[in-house]
Structure 1
Amino acid sequence: MYSGDRGHRLCGRVTAFTILGSVITLLIAAIVAICILCSKPLIDVHIKNIRNVLASEAEMMLDLHVHAINPNIIAVQVSDLDVNIFAKSKHVGTGEFWRSRPQITRKDNRATPDRIDTLWRKPSAISARASNTVHQLDGVDEGTDPIDDPTADSQTMLLGQIFDFDSPLIFDPSPFRHHSLGSVGEVRLSRPGNSTAQGGSERWEHVLKYDFELIVRGVIRYSSPITSKVHSTKIEGSRLIHPGEGTDDVITRSRQR
């Protein structure tokens, strides 16, 4: 009788420890699964559109419409980025062009955009000598090579760099169906081109008079919701901007002097 009771108690303890071990194992497995399902990077991140562009001499604002697949079981928020903003236009010109005319673009009170535009068709003697020197060093110039026209081909001007969203991107979870979902983040750039390109504000003001291609290129950075692991993904997009004209999703403004 005594041996039977002792055997039942021992069997009960073994069963209890087995159940407890199973519960702990399931709990650990669940925690690991949650960590895995909450630490995956975004998939197929790309800029779908660039909208609501507001451009002036002093500031540029725009909305980045970004699409991505969020394979995690909770939403992912993106607040940080590191992107360069470019303007591509045949009216950008070269740094050499703007360096050769500091008295026109910075000191002369008559340096209106119209006057600068006229000067594009009159390369300076400094530019002409520089071009001829290069040809002579190459041994190609026979006196018939034309001087390069800075407006002949499109040039690219770096307007500045942006490091955070004014309003962050938020991607809802899609762990099973993997649907590509969109989110809109607003960014702002102060004093475009002021410290990144030769000619500064005058150069940007000149570009604003004409159609130009706005280019966004860089990376977005975000942390996994649970593990705080930092991920970064490249993004790139462009949009043709028409100053003074409005469309359904692009509004561009420029200040005229």
Structure 2
Amino acid sequence: MFKNLKNKKKSQSIQEHSDSDLHNIPEHIAIIMDGNGRWAKKRKLPRIKGHYEGMQTVKKITKAASDMGIKYLTLYAFSTENWSRPESEVNYIMNLPVNFLKTFLPELIENNVKVETIGFIDNLPSSTLKAIDKAKEDTKNNTGMKLIFAINYGGRAEIVHSVKSLYEQLSKEQACAEDITEALISEHLFTNKYPDPDLLIRTSGEQRISNFLIWQVSYSEFIFNEKLWPDFDKNELENCIKIYQSRQRRFGGL
């Protein structure tokens, strides 16, 4: 009974969009959530307040993307370079998943969202890792949108990791260099279970990809949104999707 109500609710939400809005919805959206610190600075608040508000935006965008029928949503939560930030800020960010997932997990379960991660998560603090593992375990049977957090992630480090893993495999198989293909390298990336992003969004107006999914976004559409991440909302997401829908993806062709 409750499952039927949930599906009906989602169906009604999707029907709110016109048919023209629903054509060519990106299957996989990746977002560089930038601007938390600047959002706080503009308001003369501590940087950690910006990160807190940024997590509230994660909740809103996750719900919006799920309702729109997005199948994969990858969020750049913490890069391998972010460890160089002040220790107090890093400690706060590392504690965010503990509080965030504790309060947000029931909603994720209700909305059939599956939590997954990419990155070198074994290097995270034990409390952070425990919270992430619980969220992944409690949502592992969910069949809706996959919410993928890139945590302790770096694109170059991922490629190095992939090459090392591939080298070990080829050494065991006594293979040669000619056996190496793009597809084989992709199989050894953290993202091997997912399609490449159709759309990459970066908030805050900055126009760079900051070592995020540098292998996977070769043919993704890029949108650089001016809003700081805490100010990014459902309307902004819908506008980004409309821009994506207006483009013609060529994948190197004509």
Greater RCO between the two (CA within 8 Å, min separation 6)?
1
Say which one has the larger Rg.
1
Length-normalised TM-score, structure 2: 0.20
Greater fraction of residues in helix: 2
Greater fraction of residues in strand: 1
